[in-house]
Amino acid sequence: MPVVSPDLSSFKENTPVHSIILFLQRFLSSPRFWFVAVVGFTLLYYFAEHEGFYYADDGSYSLYAHQVLHGGFHFDDYSFCHRFMVFVPTTLFYWLWDHNIYTTTLWPLLCTLGTLLLLYLTFRKKHPVAISWALVLLGLYYFQLNTSNYLYPDNILLFFTTACLLVLYRARNPLPSVKEEVYWGMGFAVLNLLAFLTKETIVYTVPFYLTLFGYQAFRRQNSRFWFTAAVTGILLLAAYFLLYKIYSGDALQRLYDIKATNTAETKQAYLDTRSATLFPRLTYGPFLFFIGTGLAIPLAMAALFWMSNSKKQPFSLSSPIYFWLIAMLGMLLPIWFGTATVDFYKPMPLVPRMFHPLLPAFCLLAGLTMEQVWNKRIAFLYLAVVFGISTLLVSQNMVVMYLPLTLFFAVLFFWNRSWPHWLGLLAVAAVLCIRPVYFMIKPTVSYYFEQKALVDQHLNHENGRHVVLMDSFLLEKFDFFYGFQVPKNYTFQEYSAYLKSAHPATDSVFLLINNGVLEHPELMLTLREKDILPLFPSAQLINQKGKVKLFMLPKDSLK
């Protein structure tokens, strides 16, 4: 559908105002502009909102990368250690530029930008409007941005999932030559293996793969592509399991560790509450989740698919919009109803980053739909109603996203005229930016950089024997602040453990309190500074940065 130009009749031609409006119209109608804008915003978010360290999964992956580089890597019976495509590339960056917070998170950032680039290059010529919508909906989605500056597998998996789906998108029609069928089939198998080496949730794409395979097998299309992909995949998996057999002694070691990780800590707690949680999780729960996370925006637009097929074209996976519709449904159903464990039924938790494999299909279907239905008044009315309902259902802090969209599409419905696509893109982009911008200007919660500065300045003596006291949470991840090369003359203990232990000759004892970590709502810690300081009444504050405080215990208190 061509971009509808605004009415410029009220402005005389060749006037400055007329020229500026024409320039803006061409500028804002270009997918290149939206690609550059989204990439620029991603980079801005990456640096402006970088928390440094999350004291969770990123610490494990960073440790594995360090072990690969310096020796000592081994399987530790946890599923994370098998996700080589998360930490092996990070090893390369450690080797090139040493260990720091930016080399730790560079790989997720590159995969985020790579995802945007793949989509842009694929659709910019044939579907310039659709890709503009898709880039805005995916690139400015808060939880996708949120995982661009942590060493988590989700944006890395997003890249490989997108690459796999785009290969199938190219192969939705008969490929022109035998050579292309073979090459694309081999590439498809390799990309899926790399995705599997990133995170196991790539398996949620399999139902869609089988659907497309069955469709093309029935029509006798691309048989060499599928045969090559299957043979290559079998050979790669055979080599993969053989290496496991050689390295660990058990070809299925990863599968056992996945099962243990998924069940060890959550099984009994889940089974105790299953009767109360299973029904909402399988029925209305995901809808509330989509609304609460902002995914309702692309989902609502994608749901307009029924309105886009005005010519009542027959179903065909060769059609871009049908392809991405089936891709979305093929991945949504197993994520909605499938199980995340092997030995008992437990649906995937409703955590935003778990739905990253769905984002390409969600946003591309939404973009292709908006390309078709824009300027249909019924579509504007539908979006105003859906976002209005969402406004009533969400928490107060999300009203700021849905209420402006409700009003915007209501205005478009009542003010009956032709509107350019870029006006809608500007409105949706502005709304999607609200949450990321809020977190960019919001004070840090982990105070990583402040703690790192204190460590470098005060807790890095070359001589003497030193003890650093901290909470149990920091104690688990403190080696990250030393690049996993902790000075041997330092001992780290929990506050209460130090009080109960014998104290050999020690030159200094430091008390480190990171109030940002203690007060972090997601960590649910109950210990506070007011509980710690009474245990050490003689502690003397020697430095403070933000909410991080470093105390020293006088020598006479060490006896």
Residue 1 · residue 374 · CB < 8 Å: yes
Quote the pLDDT of residue 265.
Answer: 56
Task: Scan for tokens 């503009």, then name that residue.
Answer: 132
Output the pLDDT for position 400.
Answer: 94
pLDDT for res 8: 45
How would you write 443-507 as a 3-class SS string? CCCCCHHHHHHHHHHHCCCCCCCEEEEECHHHHHHHHHHHCCCCCCCEEEEEHHHHHHCCCCCCC
Residue 160 sits at φ, ψ, to 5 deg, of: -70, -35
Q: What dihedral do alpha carbons 378, 382, 383, 389 form, nearest 10°?
A: 160
- Strands 490-494, 466-470: parallel, antiparallel or unpaired by DSSP? parallel
Tokens of 511: 């008390």
Burial of 378 by CB count in 10 Å (0-12 exposed, 13-18 middle, 19+ buried)? exposed
Residue environment code for 266-280, b if the CB has 16+ CB neighbours within 10 A, otherwise e: eeeebeeeeeeeeee
pLDDT at 3: 45
How would you write the pLDDT of the chain (559 residues) with one tens digit per residue? 444 444 444 445 556 666 776 777 888 889 999 999 999 999 999 999 998 888 888 999 999 999 999 998 998 888 899 999 999 999 999 999 999 999 999 999 999 999 999 999 999 999 999 999 999 999 999 999 999 999 999 999 999 999 999 999 999 999 999 999 999 999 999 999 999 999 999 999 999 999 999 999 999 999 999 999 999 999 999 999 999 999 888 999 998 888 777 666 567 777 777 888 899 999 999 999 999 999 999 999 999 988 876 566 778 899 999 999 999 999 999 999 988 887 788 888 899 999 999 999 999 999 999 999 999 999 999 999 999 999 999 988 899 999 999 999 999 999 989 999 999 999 999 999 999 999 999 888 889 999 999 999 999 999 999 999 999 888 888 999 999 999 999 999 998 887 767 666 788 999 999 998 898 877 778 889 999 999 898 999 999 999 999 999 987 665 5
What is the token pair recorded at 346?
Answer: 């437990």
> What is the gyration radius of the CA atoms in the chain, in angstroms?
27
Sorted by where each begins, the domain ranges of the chain are 30-375+418-441, 448-557
What pLDDT score does 4 carry?
46
